[in-house]
Amino acid sequence: QDVVLRVNDLRTHFQTRWGTVKAVDGISFDLRRGETLGIVGESGSGKSVTMLSLMRLIPIPPGRIVSGSIELDGQDILQLSESEMNRIRGSKIGLIIQDPMTSLNPVFTIGNQVSEAIRIHQDIPKRSIMEQALSVLRKVNIPAAESRMRDYPHQMSGGMRQRVVGAIGISCQPEVLIADEPTTSLDVTIQAQYLALLKDLQRDSNVALIFITHDFGIVAKMCDRVAVMYAGRIVEQGSVRDIFNNPSHPYTEALLASVPKMEDDVERLYSIMILAGEVPSPLNPPEGCHFHPRCPFVMDRCSLEDPQVKEVSPGHRVACHLF
Ligand code: SF4
Ligand code: MG
């Protein structure tokens, strides 16, 4: 399968009054056309900064992408000017932010917001813009889309607004779409609708999807491959099958074992104890393997040397001294 996005040794740092925060600290991964990659991690692991880095939406200062490359269709977007990047955002790489408060503007109609997303990326007549807006709204199953174009966000249900956000995300047929997980404040039905919407969008458009989440349950339902992040690094990545059947990094094992099962067992309680341990401070993470203070298998070298990434089977990579 061909690679549409190749991230190599990406580092995004923030300067703070207290020192440098290495929010993303040397991550590499590939994304293939039409697949879904889940990026999983606890809050503060660097998933959101990864998402913003891929869109080049890091606030500068205090943030800065200090090294690495992000190749979209073979072109390193870190080398583009801001105006070139503006053309690519939305048209080649899109973002669906699941924050119902900020993702739609309350003072503009739905039709207005969808057409604006199309207008800024495509030089086409107004009539065609309206037609295209209508067609993406239909694609995300907005009933009576033509009259709904005149509605304001507050006139729509939460689920409907989500679909509009999805419509904006795909309005210019991006090759890569980044979506974050449904906020926990959403009710279960709306969450399920959101996931179904993303799946539909992907099936229809064959877009490559990056799904940012802390929830392994959602990964199992949504993703083809998974990258597990811890303290700014990817500690393990592989196919969903690799990760679920043969989790190799101790952190991945702990995360997976903590997912509720039918019957609780000792292993699960143990994992919960590990995960209850302190998440490292991004300002001053532990030396060597960042996970070593919480790791049940810690060895002497773990606090001294950064573990290198090893391929344990084709496409299954682990950064841990046990391998
Ligand atoms: Fe545990 Fe060492 Fe592996 Fe880190 S490198 S996960 S501390 S065994
Ligand atoms: Mg985050």
- In angstroms, the CA 308 to CA 188 distance is 40
User: Residue 282 Cα, ligand 2 centroid: separation in angstroms?
Assistant: 12
User: Residue 319 Cα, ligand 2 centroid: separation in angstroms?
Assistant: 21
Q: What is the biggest distance separating any 2 CA atoms in the chain, rounded to whole angstroms? A: 67
Q: Which residues pair with 143 in a beta bridge?
A: none
Structure confidence by residue, pLDDT tens digits, 47-105: 989 999 999 989 888 999 999 999 999 999 999 999 999 889 888 998 887 665 567 88
Q: Ligand 1 pocket test: which of 236, 252, 297 has the largest number of ligand atoms within 8 Å of its C-beta? A: 297
pLDDT reported for residue 176: 95
User: Residue 308 Cα, ligand 1 centroid: separation in angstroms?
Assistant: 11
Q: Is the pLDDT of residue 1 over 70?
A: no
What is the rounded radius of gyration, in angstroms, for the C-alpha atoms of the chain? 21
- In angstroms, the CA 69 to CA 54 distance is 10
- In angstroms, the CA 287 to CA 170 distance is 42
User: Residue 50 Cα, ligand 2 centroid: separation in angstroms?
Assistant: 9
Helix (H) or strand (E) holding 266: helix 266-276
Which residue minimizes the CA distance to atom 3 of ligand 1? 320
In this predicted complex, what is the ipTM?
A: 0.94
Question: Could you identify the atom of ligand 1 that is nearest to the CA of residue 303?
Answer: 7
Which residue minimizes the CA distance to atom 7 of ligand 1? 292
Question: Could you identify the atom of ligand 1 that is nearest to the CA of residue 290?
Answer: 4
Cβ–Cβ under 8 Å, residues 237 and 317: yes
pLDDT band at 124 (very low <50, low <70, confident <90, very high): confident
Q: Average pLDDT in the 235-262 region? A: 89
Cβ of 295 closer than 6 Å to ligand 1, yes or no, is yes
Least confident of 81-85, 189-193, 220-224: 189-193
Q: Is the pLDDT of residue 232 over 80?
A: yes
User: Residue 322 Cα, ligand 1 centroid: separation in angstroms?
Assistant: 7
Cβ of 230 closer than 6 Å to ligand 1, yes or no, is no
pLDDT reported for residue 104: 84
Cβ of 307 closer than 6 Å to ligand 1, yes or no, is yes
- In angstroms, the CA 38 to CA 212 distance is 6
Cβ of 298 closer than 6 Å to ligand 1, yes or no, is yes
User: Residue 297 Cα, ligand 1 centroid: separation in angstroms?
Assistant: 6
**Polymer length in residues for the chain:** 323
Structure confidence by residue, pLDDT tens digits, 14-36: 998 888 999 999 999 999 999 99
Which ligand lies nearest to the CA atom of residue 183 in the structure?
2
Cβ–Cβ under 8 Å, residues 100 and 162: yes
Report the predicted TM-score, pTM, of the whole model to 2 decimal places. 0.88
CA angle 92, 94, 97 (to 5 degrees): 175
Structure confidence by residue, pLDDT tens digits, 202-211: 888 889 999 9
